Amino acid sequence: MSGEWADPWDELRARDAPARGWVEECLLGGRDPLRTGTPLDRALGGGLMPGVTVLGGQASVGKSALACQAAANVAARGLRVLYLTLDDSWENVWARCASAWSCSGAGGATPFRWSDVPAERRRLRAGQHPSDRGRRAFDVCQGDGMARTAQLFAERVGPSLALVDSMGTVGEVEAALSQLGEPPALVVVDYLQQYRTGDQQADGSEYSRVSAAASAFQRLAIGLKVPVLELSSLRKLGRQDSDPSLDWFRGSGVVGYAAQAAVVVTRREGGESDGARPVALNVVKNKAGRAGFATDAWCYGAWSVMREARDG
């Protein structure tokens, strides 16, 4: 026999170990949390880590508002964001992200409510204007209203934000990401229960489909070392369901367990104030920090903005 004999144990130890050791590559050169500029940062102890953070909640509690705000804030820093949705249309998600950005205080932006888009559309259509829609669009962008702010968003944030509402399987997402030289800084999946794996057997029932999709998104996120903010609906809750847990996510018991972190948004007691409703971000799992507590916030749904509740 020729060549030096290698100890299988040493080969196994070195298989996935950092070449320069843990201190140099993991401690000094490790990934910092991705700050989103939303209450998620405090709830998770700094921001989103590589892997899936699943964000659950009942309908209209503020999941998509928080996701759009996070996407807009990260993209506004020049970091690429991929927003995947099968639950909404491209134009509606764009309006929600632009609305959230309009409230950020960016220069020249006039805050507008995405929920006012239909009324604004009717108002503009009612006026006299030429049949050339492109010319009309140019004209309305010269003012200080919604159109102007949306145009500013498109110019300043748009190049870093990709909204896709036509990918229905995890495989399509993986193939698209593999074409990029560098993965985006953030991927948003809105929402998990809508996606398929592409495998007929795995997609045969909701339980197996959601289980397989949840596991596949986590493997993809860990493999690419990119944070994935994954929205999830909740199962029908009973009277015994008092404290949010990993078992609250709909479709499969795997959803929360196959994630880096899990947050459940719930409504707090109290009525609306200045267009905001009180909510709580309940951290039920967090591999990068502490869990088992809640961060209080206010959800301004008409603007797709969530802000941390402060005493006083």
Question: In this structure, what are the phi and psi dihedrals at residue 286, rounded to the nearest 5 degrees?
Answer: -160, 100
CA nearest neighbour of 164 among 90, 226, 74: 90
* Residue found by looking up tokens 């009324």 in the block: 119
Q: What is the mean pLDDT of residues 109-113?
A: 90
Report the pLDDT value the prediction gives residue 3, as an integer from 0 to 100.
Answer: 61
From CA 221, how far away is CA 208, in angstroms rounded? Answer: 20
d(CA 103, CA 299): 13
Amino acid type, 196:
R
pLDDT per residue as tens digits for the range 135-155: 666 666 666 688 889 999 999
* Residue 84 neighbours by CB under 8 Å, 6+ apart: 164, 165, 167, 173, 187, 188, 189, 190
Measured CA to CA, the distance from residue 72 to residue 52 in angstroms comes to 19
Q: Given the DSSP bridges, would you call strands 161-164 and 186-190 parallel, antiparallel or unpaired?
A: unpaired
How far is the C-alpha of 183 from the C-alpha of 180, rounded, in Å? 6
| Structure confidence by residue, pLDDT tens digits, 177-207 | 999 989 999 999 999 999 999 888 999 999 9
Global model pTM greater than 0.85: yes
Cis peptide before 191 (omega within 30 of 0): yes
Over 60: is that where the pLDDT of 1 sits? Answer: no
| Domains of the chain listed by start with CATH number | 33-308 (3.40.50.300)
Give me the count of residues in the chain: 312
Determine how many CB atoms are found less than 10 A away from the CB of residue 167.
18
For residues 33 and 55, give the distance between their C-alpha atoms in angstroms, rounded to a whole number.
17
Give the per-residue SS3 of 41-81: HHHCCCCECCEEEEEEECCCCCHHHHHHHHHHHHHHCCCCE
Residue 5 has pLDDT above 70, yes or no: yes
Is the C-alpha dihedral spanning 125, 131, 133, 135 positive or negative? negative
Q: Which of 165, 173, 284 is nearest to 226 (CA)?
A: 173
Task: Let me know: does 64 contact 305? Beta carbons within 8 Å.
Answer: no
Mean pLDDT over all residues of the chain?
91
pLDDT in the model for residue 2: 55
**59 DSSP assignment:** T
Chain CA centroid to CA 37, Å: 12
| C-alpha atoms less than 13 angstroms from C-alpha of 231 in its C-beta half-sphere | 25
